[in-house]
Amino acid sequence: MHENDTLRALLQAVKSGTVSVDDALSRLREPKTAELGYATVDLERKARQGESEVIYGAGKTPEQIRGIVNAMREHGQSRLLVTRLSPEKAEALADLPDFAYAPEARVGVCGGFPAPDGLGAVVIATGGTSDIPVAEEAALTAAFYGNRVERLYDVGVAGLHRLLSAADTLQNASVVIAVAGMEGALASVIGGLVRCPVIAVPTSVGYGAAFGGLAALLGMLSACAAGIGVVNIDNGFGAATLASRINHTEAKQ
Amino acid sequence: MHENDTLRALLQAVKSGTVSVDDALSRLREPKTAELGYATVDLERKARQGESEVIYGAGKTPEQIRGIVNAMREHGQSRLLVTRLSPEKAEALADLPDFAYAPEARVGVCGGFPAPDGLGAVVIATGGTSDIPVAEEAALTAAFYGNRVERLYDVGVAGLHRLLSAADTLQNASVVIAVAGMEGALASVIGGLVRCPVIAVPTSVGYGAAFGGLAALLGMLSACAAGIGVVNIDNGFGAATLASRINHTEAKQ
Amino acid sequence: MHENDTLRALLQAVKSGTVSVDDALSRLREPKTAELGYATVDLERKARQGESEVIYGAGKTPEQIRGIVNAMREHGQSRLLVTRLSPEKAEALADLPDFAYAPEARVGVCGGFPAPDGLGAVVIATGGTSDIPVAEEAALTAAFYGNRVERLYDVGVAGLHRLLSAADTLQNASVVIAVAGMEGALASVIGGLVRCPVIAVPTSVGYGAAFGGLAALLGMLSACAAGIGVVNIDNGFGAATLASRINHTEAKQ
Amino acid sequence: MHENDTLRALLQAVKSGTVSVDDALSRLREPKTAELGYATVDLERKARQGESEVIYGAGKTPEQIRGIVNAMREHGQSRLLVTRLSPEKAEALADLPDFAYAPEARVGVCGGFPAPDGLGAVVIATGGTSDIPVAEEAALTAAFYGNRVERLYDVGVAGLHRLLSAADTLQNASVVIAVAGMEGALASVIGGLVRCPVIAVPTSVGYGAAFGGLAALLGMLSACAAGIGVVNIDNGFGAATLASRINHTEAKQ
Amino acid sequence: MHENDTLRALLQAVKSGTVSVDDALSRLREPKTAELGYATVDLERKARQGESEVIYGAGKTPEQIRGIVNAMREHGQSRLLVTRLSPEKAEALADLPDFAYAPEARVGVCGGFPAPDGLGAVVIATGGTSDIPVAEEAALTAAFYGNRVERLYDVGVAGLHRLLSAADTLQNASVVIAVAGMEGALASVIGGLVRCPVIAVPTSVGYGAAFGGLAALLGMLSACAAGIGVVNIDNGFGAATLASRINHTEAKQ
Amino acid sequence: MHENDTLRALLQAVKSGTVSVDDALSRLREPKTAELGYATVDLERKARQGESEVIYGAGKTPEQIRGIVNAMREHGQSRLLVTRLSPEKAEALADLPDFAYAPEARVGVCGGFPAPDGLGAVVIATGGTSDIPVAEEAALTAAFYGNRVERLYDVGVAGLHRLLSAADTLQNASVVIAVAGMEGALASVIGGLVRCPVIAVPTSVGYGAAFGGLAALLGMLSACAAGIGVVNIDNGFGAATLASRINHTEAKQ
Amino acid sequence: MHENDTLRALLQAVKSGTVSVDDALSRLREPKTAELGYATVDLERKARQGESEVIYGAGKTPEQIRGIVNAMREHGQSRLLVTRLSPEKAEALADLPDFAYAPEARVGVCGGFPAPDGLGAVVIATGGTSDIPVAEEAALTAAFYGNRVERLYDVGVAGLHRLLSAADTLQNASVVIAVAGMEGALASVIGGLVRCPVIAVPTSVGYGAAFGGLAALLGMLSACAAGIGVVNIDNGFGAATLASRINHTEAKQ
Amino acid sequence: MHENDTLRALLQAVKSGTVSVDDALSRLREPKTAELGYATVDLERKARQGESEVIYGAGKTPEQIRGIVNAMREHGQSRLLVTRLSPEKAEALADLPDFAYAPEARVGVCGGFPAPDGLGAVVIATGGTSDIPVAEEAALTAAFYGNRVERLYDVGVAGLHRLLSAADTLQNASVVIAVAGMEGALASVIGGLVRCPVIAVPTSVGYGAAFGGLAALLGMLSACAAGIGVVNIDNGFGAATLASRINHTEAKQ
């Protein structure tokens, strides 16, 4: 996983004696993680993947989150995102420097948002009002990764003109994130209207045969429109990460 | 289940001596079925429910089907419908009087179709070409029960204008049958456009996460549009039976 | 989706100069929704589908519900139904004008119920006592949409004479809603007795292999009686919407 | 598992020297099975459980079946039942002494059926014609175990009078086996009519949401009537084994 | 469902004029249920099925339970069983005459238990300690129906000698109820040891792949031993009802 | 869906009298589909979405496919792709002009492939040899849409060095399509190595608990790496459509 | 299950008259369990299987646990492990002699841990921080059974270098326990790196399509690497028991 | 993954000039696989994991298999195992040097079996005759990896004495593989009898609620006995690989 150039440079330094064998050995094996006991923090994510590691707040104590935040700040990462963060944990972390909390999205941010630098806009549409928390997780994550975000909320297919009247917004998107529960038909319909990639996020909104998002998930995977990528139920974060990568695609020879 | 008037008449005949106690007892218990050993044919379905019994051809031998057909004809039913009839079995039954077979729908008919006498048209829409066999089972069943049928095939939501350009047909329907596999979004979208009842038929068209019609079934049950009744996967017959009942609703005081 | 006549009139007005091109453009694109940020209220549902939009209370805050109610009242809709409304939220909305709350059905109504104007009665039957909340959601929704409602509660098939003794009521129905959990056999048995459409509502009543309504749902979909349309688990509202449409079917040439 | 009396007798024989220690040891450990390599035939089933071992024909070659039959005949069992036996395998076994094959039930019998010696009749009812193969497996198994069998075929709940007109037969049963696919409501309805035990056999008859017998299975397990025991899908053999045990219950102090 | 003799007597009374036509009509249609609005109490269960109706306490308010109890007492039923009764509801019903509550089984009884009158003993075995509440529901129900009960608790197959050392008890049973969660192997093993019917009750004990009793349910249905009837997950009541019917089987000609 | 400019031009033509009201009305409603009875061919897909419609060959007869091909060619589409095309159907279509068939991918092409015009390469990796047919469907679809394709086959995670030695190829991709059955871990591992979007295609390769692709599907949806979009099981076509859109993303202001 | 030598000795004692027939009979049948009513404690587990019985704390009251502990101590077992022990129950048991409680693992221990005596180290790796409670249950159980434990926590495959940098530890293990939720890919990747047995523990960590551990479970069962044994979801105890047996394997001729 | 010593030697060679930078770079990146286009053969599996790579025959053509065999033979691997090999493919490969085919196990072997060198015996038990093909796949795989194998076939728990009479064999095993379909109780019962590790293999034997091995799989995962590791349904190969690793465990400091 060492990049080729770095590796060549190191080998040449060994050859020239600038770097001893033991040092080279140790660099080839040196820790690229911060070991906290309960967490092994990935310190080269940004170098490797162009994005900082994001902290998944569920299943971690506030103390564990604080420890990871501190380790990352010590290694030079000033902006930090914590997802799936309950209000109680957010309260316990409120004294972190430059910390803000969005309760609907259950997202905490340290260090604010960067200016957008993507190719265009990430449009986030929801089928209903109840899907908004998932959409907001996506919106804040996309903003954190440097994307301009436009919101189209409560435009489900049961009242199709709501969606059709937003056709201009949809057709100008770089990527559309379609967030819907129940039968998840929003993804299919949008998938048939636009020429950009569509990311479908099934939500756990609904009851009975919606089976906690399963109906929407299966529907989105089986959508008759092509060009749709599906993420996990309620996974606004994952959708936005994928959207950001798409919105930052660069030409390569 | 005896109708009140019949029962009263019988009791009065017992009182007046026109009918003996034993005869009355036997009439109150008399068979209203034809017992064929392998089948107990319901001979009062039409009196009780306004529709003749229909023969479900799957899982029956041609000989069994022929026996049931004959029993029903002997009891005065001249028109007969056999569903889920394979070409091989249809071949074996081809000498039945006035028999015709529709291979795509896998439906056999004895005695032809009646003139339509419903309140309006039953519109049958499909999401794709592969859904047509199920739609045709519905179309022929609806015609058998005396309904005018209009077909809108291959109007799935991935190309929404196909459906929207048929808006007049949809809005003039007495009832719409929406037949779709994959994610089944057709039912939701039609459900949001019309004011008549919508019957949704999930089909087993699709693969992978469509799970043999499960995705469409769950999606149709979870549809964000209301006023939709769902039938079993691939059950064109059941959908048409329900549609026919709706299309023959009468005013009662 | 514009109705033909309206569209023709608009085009003629453009031709005659009564309406400018920009105005026509704007009307063809004008919002037919009220945009509340968290909700895009469908203001032409009644024109398009003959029924007012109903507010699904689950997953919305009382403030959001109040906002939607106000938007709809401002656009001339005086009667309003809110389903899946918890007692706590109902409490918070108690000061809405002419508001009433039915706790068993978890339904709130503004503006009372209209006089029935359907073709006949909607009969609502339940398998047991525990199914009554779902049945009441259906009953109040049907009444809200202008239907006469008759209730047959706790007539499950384990004591068949309870159901058979109500045969007259069943046979006079325009449509029957069969509400049952556990194995959901009520729908099959009623489906074999009546000549009108039957709407089956599986409920989450039961335990173990009932799997929260799944057994009833699969059973109702697989019912050996035909002419049955199934709605989602516990979806009394959807059943009543479909029943009302059936009960308001009109003859079309 | 040694019966107490046998064990005491053996120990006393050891004490008195009639049996040596080594012989006793060997008897306490002696094989009670016939070891065929591919099968370990249980030779004391009848002593232990009052029924001979039955051969499950699926997944065994005709040669293996023949070998097991011979081993059992050599150990004194003259009557033998082979279930799930395909016509091809039956053909290959046709030269076994006193062998007969019932193709609908897919059951082979060596040595014929005994006279019935149970407490009363085992009544076997099916919902439809397609359920008959499973019912016949049950009927022949019950006869093999010494039970009088009565058949009530195609009496499903969609035409309830078919079932009600057989009320006398049902009420005289020692045990009823209800065989039904689709939604399996037959078990519930019979369970509410009789006072004897009911054994429910879901069948794989049906399609779509019947999911190969799953709908019937879940429905029968969730039946609102009590006193019903369910066996595996299509398991006519298991139902008849249980029925026979019930029909041979003896009073104990 | 009227018994033949009653019907003949009524018809003769009509003939002789002792009973008027209208009275006969009304008797043939008279209510055999007590209608409480929220419940339709089955008053002829005992005549029809030999067992009193039992009240399922879950999903009913204490007031509803009290109302049903009173209706049944007024119609002459002095002993009453209420299952799935929470401690809170039991507290609210504590003033019912002769009422006792068993908290582990969550069962309430009015009027005490009868003397056993069955053919032999109902043996109830559990795999572990956590299965005891379900077993106790079965034990009290069996006692309520007039059966002698023997308990074998915590004899799961992981320590096989625990079960084998109870072989005498098992082999003297009229019927064995095997109550087990996790993989439910107890039913298979007991099914291979005894000659009486075995009723298997899967419990929701376990975690993960036990899936709330599903693993035990599927295992018991697929048991390699025959002669086993399965009831719903945690359904001690249903198992005991079936066991009681088996234990009260009578010889019929 | 009319684009704004077109609509404005039309309205101005109406105003100026160049276009009559009836003509305008008809244009606003004119068919944008070719109606073949069994198919409603979408003729403006390319205009609307930048890609020609692709023909899904499963569930269509060769005659239907030929009809659709001809309709599309008549409307000016010269390049055509048919997926899920069995060898038998391909044989029957072999006389179509400029037709080629790839049997492993089960894909037919009319008119050849265009020169690549995307931003970079679409890299397609498979876990094993058995996944290659799905990967080839993706590869040919991507080529059809104008993408350069690189293949990395049989680089599953059980031999991690196979994947790691291809790190350069992976890191130069515009988008990676990870095709894997069994547990689908390939997507997670690639997702942690690259900075471009990853599209995961679960395949039905595997047996038992792989459940026809379900294990891979659930695993890919739950992947601990972010930035992964999942498509349906075995859906190489859908993955390539999405990849092509990503690879053709353009900067918008 | 009596060992051969003991049995021979007993028989010889009978022969010689040292032991009477009745005594021998009673010894052959004597209880090897302590019967507590709610529990049948297995007192020869250690003799039979080399491990003491462990108490599963869920579903047992503190009083029941105390009773079992006392019974085992009375029969000479001084070290005791209680798993799935909630903090509340641990509090209630705090006065047991030499009792300690590990809240993260939810494990209580009486009598401390023995010195390790296995062949090598049991290495326990987790995919993330949230998997640690399950891993700690495994770690303490392994220690209780006399194994040296090494922990590798939060080394999931999304950051592969975290795992690769621990290659030495992995390759020196006697057995590795891989604990992971979400897609469970950790087991596959480790399974491809080491030469010792790998035990995979799926955890319920994750959401949506992780379905409470199902995705990880199916993935681990379908892993493309061989040599992996899977235990139940969250079953750290079972994994450690298996690991300990592996780590104590002895050479046999 | 480079071993430390190799890496140090290489770096020293670079320093001393024995190896040029470019050569070192290339060695650090050199292929350790044979690239066949359709397969990337892992050539260092044996070095890394102590076992040769085994060829999974399903989903590969005979030509592909032959190609892989040849590549492995060229790299010095003389013994080869091919699993899931159909008789037709085996026929096509019959001319490979020293090739033998076991049709029941569907396994092909090149180069014969080595002498056993494990710690003891691998005992393979099956519940029934139909499980033998899976057991034989395990037996031949275990032999291929150098293990002594003992077979106990058809010892299912429905006739418990069959299993108990083999207690000596079980208790002398180094590891037991329990192969069973239906409810899979064999694993639980064996798990309670032995002190060595138990590997459970669910098979797809059974029907209905066995759901193709799901019942056995869930049962084995939920087994009340501890110390059991489960592999995929019908995965005899995987079980034997794990068993062989256990049977070759070595003491480490």
Cα separation, D208 vs D215, in Å, equals 10
Average pLDDT over residues D31-43: 77
- The one-character DSSP state at H98 is T
pLDDT on residue B202: 97
Distance of CA C175 to the CA centre of its chain: 14
Phi first, then psi: what are they for F169, rounded to 5°? -55, -45
Q: Inter-chain contact B11–E21, Cβ cutoff 8 Å?
A: yes
Cα separation, A233 vs A216, in Å, equals 8
Count Cβ–Cβ pairs < 8 Å, chain A vs chain F: 127
Residue-number span of the structural domain to which A135 is assigned: 121-247
Predicted confidence band at C44 (pLDDT cuts at 50, 70, 90)? confident
Cα separation, C242 vs B226, in Å, equals 7
Residues 221-250 of H with CB under 8 A from G: 221-222, 226-233, 237-238, 241-242, 244-247, 249-250
Mean pLDDT of the residues in chain C: 88
| Cβ contacts of H12 on chain A, cutoff 8 Å | 21
Say which residue the tokens 């691998």 belong to.
H122
Contact D107/D86 with Cβ under 8 angstroms? no
Q: Inter-chain contact A161–C1, Cβ cutoff 8 Å?
A: yes
Cα separation, E10 vs E2, in Å, equals 11
Q: Inter-chain contact A220–B183, Cβ cutoff 8 Å?
A: yes
Final residue belonging to a domain, choices H110, H130, H162: H110
Contact F191/F225 with Cβ under 8 angstroms? yes
pLDDT on residue B15: 80
Tokens of E226: 């025959």
Same domain for H157 and H194, yes or no, is yes
Tokens of C173: 């129905």
Contact H206/H107 with Cβ under 8 angstroms? no
pLDDT on residue A241: 96
Same domain for F99 and F202, yes or no, is no
What burial letters (b/e) apply to A124-160, b meaning 16+ CB within 10 Å? bbbbbbbbbbbbbbbbbbbbbbbbbbbbbbbbbbbbb
Residues 6+ apart with CB under 8 A from H22: none
Helix%, strand%, coil% for chain D, nearest 5: 45, 20, 40
| Cβ contacts of H210 on chain E, cutoff 8 Å | 218, 222
Tokens of E143: 């006692």
- Which member of F4, F15, F28 has the closest CB to residue C14? F15
Average pLDDT over residues F52-61: 87
Residues 6+ apart with CB under 8 A from B209: A217, A218, A221, A222, B215, F217, F232, F233
Chain C CB within 8 Å of residue D199 CB:
no
The mean-pLDDT minimum among A214-228, E136-150, G38-52, H178-192 falls in G38-52
Same domain for B74 and B127, yes or no, is no
Cα separation, E132 vs E136, in Å, equals 6
Q: Which residue, among E81, E32, E36, E87, has the nearest Cα to E63 in the 3D structure?
A: E36
- How far, CA to CA in Å, does B102 sit from each of B85, B90, B99, B116, G61? 9, 9, 10, 20, 67
Q: Which residue, among E218, E63, E98, E85, has the nearest Cα to E141 in the 3D structure?
A: E85
Indicate whether A249 pLDDT > 60.
yes
Higher pLDDT, D183 or C127: C127
Say which residue the tokens 């049955």 belong to.
C228
Q: Hey, what's the torsion of the CAs at H187, H193, H198, H204, to 10 degrees?
A: -10
With respect to residue G8, please indicate whether it lies within any of the assigned structural domains.
no
C-alpha angle with apex D137: D134 to D143, nearest 5 degrees? 140
Q: Inter-chain contact D129–B39, Cβ cutoff 8 Å?
A: yes
Predicted confidence band at H76 (pLDDT cuts at 50, 70, 90)? confident
With respect to residue A190, please indicate whether it lies within any of the assigned structural domains.
yes
pLDDT on residue C3: 43
First to last CA, chain F: 22
Helix (H) or strand (E) holding G148: strand G148-152
The domain total for chain A is 2
Nearest CA in chain C to F14: C15
Same domain for E160 and E95, yes or no, is no
pLDDT on residue A90: 97
- The one-character DSSP state at C118 is S
Contact G33/G42 with Cβ under 8 angstroms? yes
Chain D CB within 8 Å of residue C203 CB:
no
Same domain for C103 and C193, yes or no, is no
| Cβ contacts of D165 on chain B, cutoff 8 Å | 29, 31-33
With respect to residue D252, please indicate whether it lies within any of the assigned structural domains.
no
Q: What is the pTM of this model?
A: 0.89
Chain B CB within 8 Å of residue D208 CB:
yes
- Interval A227-244: pLDDT, tens: 899 999 999 999 999 999
Q: Inter-chain contact A205–C59, Cβ cutoff 8 Å?
A: yes
Cα separation, G217 vs H233, in Å, equals 13
Helix (H) or strand (E) holding D26: helix D21-29
Q: Inter-chain contact D21–G7, Cβ cutoff 8 Å?
A: no
Q: Can you state the angle between helices A4-16 and A21-29, rounded to 10 degrees?
A: 160
Cα separation, A107 vs G245, in Å, equals 45
Residues 6+ apart with CB under 8 A from G39: E129, E153, E154, G64, G67, G68, G71
- Interval G211-242: pLDDT, tens: 999 999 999 999 988 889 999 999 999 999 99
With respect to residue C222, please indicate whether it lies within any of the assigned structural domains.
yes
Tokens of D71: 């081993």
With respect to residue H37, please indicate whether it lies within any of the assigned structural domains.
yes
pLDDT on residue F178: 97
Same domain for E132 and E225, yes or no, is yes
Name the minimum distance, in Å, from the CA of H170 to any CA of chain G: 11
With respect to residue H253, please indicate whether it lies within any of the assigned structural domains.
no
pLDDT on residue A3: 43
- How far, CA to CA in Å, does G46 sit from each of E127, E159, F142, G77, G78? 20, 11, 63, 9, 12
C61: number of Cβ within 10 Å: 13
Q: Inter-chain contact H8–A24, Cβ cutoff 8 Å?
A: no
Same domain for B210 and B126, yes or no, is yes
Residues 6+ apart with CB under 8 A from B107: B81, B82, B83, B85, B101, B136, B137, B140, B141
> In angstroms, how far apart are the furthest CA atoms of chain D?
73
Residues 89-128 of G with CB under 8 A from H: 119-121
Q: Which residue, among F178, F169, F151, has the nearest Cα to F236 in the 3D structure?
A: F178
| Cβ contacts of E231 on chain D, cutoff 8 Å | 221, 228-230
- The one-character DSSP state at D115 is P
Contact B122/B177 with Cβ under 8 angstroms? yes
Final residue belonging to a domain, choices H110, H143, H178: H110
Average pLDDT over residues H190-217: 94
Q: Within a 13 Å sphere around the CA of B168, how many CA atoms are in the beta-carbon half?
A: 5
Average pLDDT over residues G101-128: 95
Tokens of E49: 């099925």
Cα separation, C214 vs A212, in Å, equals 13
- Interval A123-162: pLDDT, tens: 999 999 999 999 999 999 999 999 999 999 999 888 788 8
- The one-character DSSP state at H118 is S
Same domain for E180 and E64, yes or no, is no
**Sites in chain B below the pLDDT cut of 70:** 1-8, 25-32, 47, 253
Predicted confidence band at G6 (pLDDT cuts at 50, 70, 90)? low
Cα separation, F220 vs F181, in Å, equals 10
Cα separation, A139 vs F182, in Å, equals 34
In sequence order, the β-bridge partners of residue G80 are: G110
Nearest CA in chain E to B22: E8
With respect to residue D13, please indicate whether it lies within any of the assigned structural domains.
no
Same domain for A127 and A229, yes or no, is yes
In sequence order, the β-bridge partners of residue C229 are: C199
- How far, CA to CA in Å, does B185 sit from each of A125, A159, E94? 17, 13, 54
Distance of CA A83 to the CA centre of its chain: 9
% of chain F surpassing 70 pLDDT: 92
With respect to residue B184, please indicate whether it lies within any of the assigned structural domains.
yes
Name the minimum distance, in Å, from the CA of H234 to any CA of chain E: 17
Chains touching F, CB cut-off 8 Å, 3+ pairs: A, B, C, G, H
- Which member of H15, H25, H28 has the closest CB to residue A21? H15
Same domain for B106 and B128, yes or no, is no
- Interval F101-151: pLDDT, tens: 999 999 999 999 999 999 999 999 999 999 999 999 999 999 999 999 999
Cα separation, B81 vs B46, in Å, equals 14
Q: Which residue, among H121, H57, H138, H131, has the nearest Cα to H92 in the 3D structure?
A: H57
- Interval D132-142: pLDDT, tens: 999 999 999 99
Cα separation, H159 vs H189, in Å, equals 12
Contact H184/H231 with Cβ under 8 angstroms? no
- Which CATH number covers residue G176? 3.40.50.1970
Higher pLDDT, D6 or H150: H150
Indicate whether H3 pLDDT > 50.
no
Average pLDDT over residues C60-67: 93
pLDDT on residue D26: 64
Mean pLDDT of the residues in chain A: 88
Higher pLDDT, H25 or G242: G242
Indicate whether A112 pLDDT > 60.
yes
Q: Inter-chain contact B227–C241, Cβ cutoff 8 Å?
A: yes
In sequence order, the β-bridge partners of residue H31 are: none
- Interval D90-109: pLDDT, tens: 999 999 989 999 999 999 99
Final residue belonging to a domain, choices D110, D131, D149: D110
Burial classification of residue D117, based on how many CB atoms lie within 10 Å of its CB (0-12 exposed, 13-18 middle, 19 or more buried): exposed
Same domain for G232 and G144, yes or no, is yes
Helix (H) or strand (E) holding C28: helix C21-29
Tokens of A148: 């301009």
Same domain for E238 and E209, yes or no, is yes
Burial classification of residue C169, based on how many CB atoms lie within 10 Å of its CB (0-12 exposed, 13-18 middle, 19 or more buried): middle
Per-residue pLDDT of chain E (253 residues; tens, 9 = 90+): 334 456 667 777 878 888 877 777 666 655 567 888 888 887 777 777 777 778 999 989 999 999 999 998 888 888 999 999 999 999 999 999 899 999 999 999 999 999 999 999 999 999 999 999 999 999 999 999 999 999 999 998 887 888 888 888 998 999 999 999 998 899 999 998 898 999 999 999 999 999 999 999 999 999 988 889 999 999 999 999 999 999 999 887 6
Helix (H) or strand (E) holding D91: helix D87-92
What burial letters (b/e) apply to H173-205, b meaning 16+ CB within 10 Å? bbbbbbbbbbbbbbbbbbbbbbbbbbbbbbbbb
Tokens of E136: 């106790």
